[in-house]
Chain A
Amino acid sequence: MHAQTLDRMFLALADPHRRGMVEHLSAGPATVKALAAPTAMGLPSAVKHLKVLEEGGIVTSRKAGRSRTYSLSSGALRTIGDWARSQEAAWSKAFDQLAAAMLEIPEEGTH
């Protein structure tokens, strides 16, 4: 068994900031800046956390122009529990956007 690999994976998810980033990424790919913003985390600190997640096989990254985009690695979502959690997080985020959109657009008057 590759105990070291498992250790790295568990280490990657042991930190609440990193779990927050994973939850964020479950709704879709994001840049370092977007991932750092919700907790007012500095960019160097966010980069460090993302490096740990990448080494743990939880996320992958891709450089597009000047910015680097992170996404969940497909291998990280292989149990139904992972999948259900990521679905729930994605819907939760979508419903936040729904509530915001409902406030932005006025109700139609009754005829």
Chain B
Amino acid sequence: MTQHQIEHTSFVIERQLPGSPRHAFRFWAEPNLKARWNGCHPDWAILEDKFDFRPAGLEIKRWRTPENDELTFHAFYLDIVPEQRIIYAYEMSFKGERLSASLVTIELTPSDGLTRLKFTEQAVFLAGEGVREQRVAGTEEGLDRLVELVAQ
């Protein structure tokens, strides 16, 4: 039995947003405004939808895809400073298998009447190894089998 190493990564996205940090913050804090830009898959059935935007609050979403697979998102708000900063941890699972776990930092800074957004995600990626372990029994012919799976 091979013990696989899990993998870490991080990435940063920077954007100029049209409006003040006060305006921008509302699009994270208010569920109806957040829904206007975040994660809309019209063909997924919503099984669960909780949104408790405060430090130590939980955001939970659970969907069923048209292929009848379940996808879940669990987030925990660690730190919220209105109009300035949001820090949360989240995990994503697919068919009961954890895909990733992340720490996200959102920074909003005023700049000439607009907002500078800095989004940083520090992630642990689990699916690669999980998928490999689950689908490829044995290691000798692992690569060949993997290539076959990709080709299917």
Contacts and interface: CB of A to CB of B under 8 A. Distances in A.
Interface residues on B, range: 35 or more
Interface of B: 7-9, 11, 13, 15, 17-20, 22-24, 26-27, 33, 36-39, 41, 43, 66-67, 94, 100, 117, 119, 121, 123, 125, 127-128, 131-132, 143-144, 147-152
B66 A62 contact: yes
Interface residues on A, range: 35 or more
B149 A75 contact: yes
A108 B27 CA distance: 12
A101 B11 contact: no
A103 to B, nearest CB: 5
B contact patch SS: mixed
Contacts of A84: 9, 11, 123, 125
B13 A88 contact: yes
Interface in A24-77: 28-29, 57, 62, 64, 69, 73-77
